[in-house]
Structure 1
Amino acid sequence: MTRPRKKSNSGLPSNLYFDIRRKTYRYRRATDGKWYPFGTDRLKAIDAAKQLNLEYMKGRDLVALVMGESTMTLAAYIEQYRTTILPKRELKKGTLDLYAVHFRKINKALGQKPINEITVRIVADFLRDSTPRSSNQVRALLMNVFTHAIADGLIPDNPAASTIAQKEKKKRKRHTQEGLKAIRDASPQWLKNAIDLALLTALRRGDVLEMRFDKMEDGFLSVIQEKTSEEADTAWIKYELTPELLKVIEQCRDDVDSPFLVHRKPERMHATEHKEHWSKVERRYLTRAFQEAREAAGCYAGWTKEELPGFHEIRAVSVKLYTRSGEDAQKIAGHATAEMTKNYLRDEEDVTWTKVSPNLDITKITE
């Protein structure tokens, strides 16, 4: 991986630098390292640098032609990026799965194009066909891919970085109690269990799916909450085994020998070889199952696809119900606190566990 550019040079094309002391721009010719003054006009300096970089890249293409080298396609470079660069970033499985979806979409539209022929216009047109959220996710991924391609000498500039991120306007609505009850009634038992646990604990989808029977000890169920990348800590929570929680846990017990509270017997066992346990429910599968149950329930008539709430929005219902009942919703949900930031530096046996009592009455939804 290349060394990050200084803040003063961020956003500038390759080989163009800003001299903070003189308040001017200068260009470094890649062939011999010679410096050229480019004045104080930022736009003119950027335009000139891009033209020069392009000319040098054209020369590189001619050399490659004489030497019999083939131009690498975007799909080929993405495969190189996926196998050699992504493993070093040690990303979570959920992130890698999302990247895989984005890569398939990118390769389908742009994969066969030579990477050095992909322009800002091509990327902008491609991103325009997606929703703002998906477009921004793909844009960020492409920016990183092209950054590494620059470092490998394949392209002079980053075409994705020159596009503008779309403004994301949240359209998804909240669940109503009546709507969530209808969805739960239309769900298979394992999904009902997941919904009930989400209501009682206000946990996210991934955390609900990680809850285990063997984490019950001394009257508590322990959960190490996985936070998103925007948040600063990992929440270590002990949920008191209240009558309400015990009822749902017993509801989770069946004839399937699984360590996970939320589990199911898959239709095809050979598809489970990469799972931690064959009975574990994957996040994307839960999302699809919840969407199918929501469709079968026929609730939220007239709402657009963008407005329909998913499994994640159960968290908002839980927090709202706890607040109404006079409980500390922030504590129940395991929201970030200054004290919990210290947990990154501790071993599991040394962390500060937050003890909460999931005692919410959810019978209006579950019965």
Structure 2
Amino acid sequence: MSPRPRNKANKGLPPNLYLDVRRGTYRYRRPTDGKWFPFGPDRSKAIGAAKQLNLEFMGGGDLVSKVQGTAIDQFTAFLDSYEKVILPPRELAKGTLELYAVRFRQFRAAWPTKAINELTIRMVAEFLDGLTPRSANQARALLIDIFNHAAAKGLIADNPAASTMPRIEKKQRKRHTVEGLRAIREKSPVWLQNAIDLALITAQRRTDILAMRFDDVREGFLYVVQQKTAKASDAAWIRFRVTPELQAVLSRCRDNVPSPFLVHRRPERKKQAEQKEHWTKIEERYLTRAFKDARDAAECYAGWREEEMPGFHEVRALSLHLYKKAGKDGQKIAGHASEEMTKNYQRDHCEVVWSDAVPDLDISEFAR
């Protein structure tokens, strides 16, 4: 059934707007309850206001607000600002920034057109439910920080991520065995063997192993600044005495490839190499993949599920276990701070106090 045509005085007016011919003014009838509102004699203003109200009452207001609202009200736009303004002063490690980049891509894919104040607890919870427990907890922590900054700018009233529950993470990866790691090392290229040996004798993380340089060896010490904890503890500033055991590994790192890094390789593709800090530098993800390939080739952990397979990171745990087994102090080797230590990295720090460590673990059994 077609609607009743408007009378002559109201032709050309948007729905719900009417002309009071007797007074020469306009009035608006609210469609939800029929209540009338005076709009005055100005025809253009009355029409503009009526159109805007009609959009709100007829379900198009959210589309208009997205166009009219400031760019930063969009979640993706605020995320851009968070990346460019908030993160840089924190001077986060490269590995942390790479992890954040993965999460940012997930956030943008989940809510590409949402305004930041439209995101609800349920939306965030459903997003987190689609991730593994570890990934969900990482994403949740990052979202809490993002929404905290949005709340500080008055863009949202409550933090939807903070109201979600963290997931319980069950550690599934097993430890390396001496026999297993020895088999992996035998299937590894020379550069990866060097990385494994350095991880065993220094108990350092993947990031710090790949950052070690030949010019870090001076005056009988190998100087290492742990990238993950350098700003939190003076135990992260370590100088390893060049023991005979460490010197043997350092000597194996020298070859005919001109590189400033202890662990290095000649790349297969020159174009990709040109984008790196140095053409011989090995990226963390490449090391992880190469280690997995060697582990699969070694077939040393038959019967273990994929999620149980130890990676390169677990070499550090084996190293600390072997130091303890040999009756040696693994705390200084690992760079674990004690409660009495004061922070070494300050804005106006004058001098770095290096924590001395003696890397004298016998790892000859791995190179049989």
Same topology, TM > 0.5: yes
Question: Residues 286, 85 of structure 1: CA spacing in aligned structure 2 closer, same or farther, 3 A cutoff?
Answer: same
Q: Distance in 2 between matches of 1:308 and 1:66?
A: 50
5 Å matches for 1:199-238? 199-228=200-229, 232-238=233-239
- Residue number in structure 2 paired with 1:198: 199
Q: Distance in 2 between matches of 1:274 and 1:67?
A: 39
Query: Is residue 332–residue 357 contact of structure 1 (8 Å, CA) maintained in 2?
Result: yes
The structure that has the greater radius of gyration is: 2
Q: CA deviation at 1:128?
A: 0.9
- Residue number in structure 2 paired with 1:133: 134
- Residue number in structure 2 paired with 1:285: 286
Q: CA deviation at 1:227?
A: 4.0
Cα deviations across residues 122-181 of structure 1 (Å, max 9, x unaligned)? Answer: 111110121111101101111222223334444332221111111222222110111111
Query: Is residue 226–residue 234 contact of structure 1 (8 Å, CA) maintained in 2?
Result: no
Q: Distance in 2 between matches of 1:354 and 1:252?
A: 24
Q: Distance in 2 between matches of 1:124 and 1:67?
A: 24
Question: Residues 112, 339 of structure 1: CA spacing in aligned structure 2 closer, same or farther, 3 A cutoff?
Answer: same
Question: Residues 243, 119 of structure 1: CA spacing in aligned structure 2 closer, same or farther, 3 A cutoff?
Answer: same
Gaps of 5+ in 1: 1-57
Query: Is residue 184–residue 295 contact of structure 2 (8 Å, CA) maintained in 1?
Result: yes
Query: Is residue 231–residue 346 contact of structure 2 (8 Å, CA) maintained in 1?
Result: no
Q: CA deviation at 1:62?
A: 4.9
Give the alignment's TM-score, normalised by structure 2.
0.75
Q: CA deviation at 1:190?
A: 1.0
Query: Is residue 227–residue 233 contact of structure 1 (8 Å, CA) maintained in 2?
Result: no
Task: Kindly report the root-mean-square deviation, in angstroms, between the aligned alpha carbons of the 2 structures.
Answer: 2.9
Q: Secondary structure at the match of 1:344?
A: coil
Alignment pair present for 1:69 and 2:91: no
Q: CA deviation at 1:346?
A: 9.6
- Residue number in structure 1 paired with 2:22: none
* Counterpart code for 2:151: I
* Counterpart code for 2:242: L
Q: CA deviation at 1:308?
A: 1.6
Q: CA deviation at 1:355?
A: 2.9
Q: Distance in 1 between matches of 2:181 and 2:82?
A: 42
Q: Distance in 1 between matches of 2:113 and 2:67?
A: 19
- Residue number in structure 2 paired with 1:80: 81
* Counterpart code for 1:117: E
Question: Residues 150, 330 of structure 1: CA spacing in aligned structure 2 closer, same or farther, 3 A cutoff?
Answer: closer
Q: Distance in 2 between matches of 1:329 and 1:317?
A: 11
5 Å matches for 1:255-294? 255-273=256-274, 275-294=276-295
Q: Distance in 1 between matches of 2:264 and 2:135?
A: 29
- Residue number in structure 2 paired with 1:315: 316
Query: Is residue 120–residue 162 contact of structure 1 (8 Å, CA) maintained in 2?
Result: yes
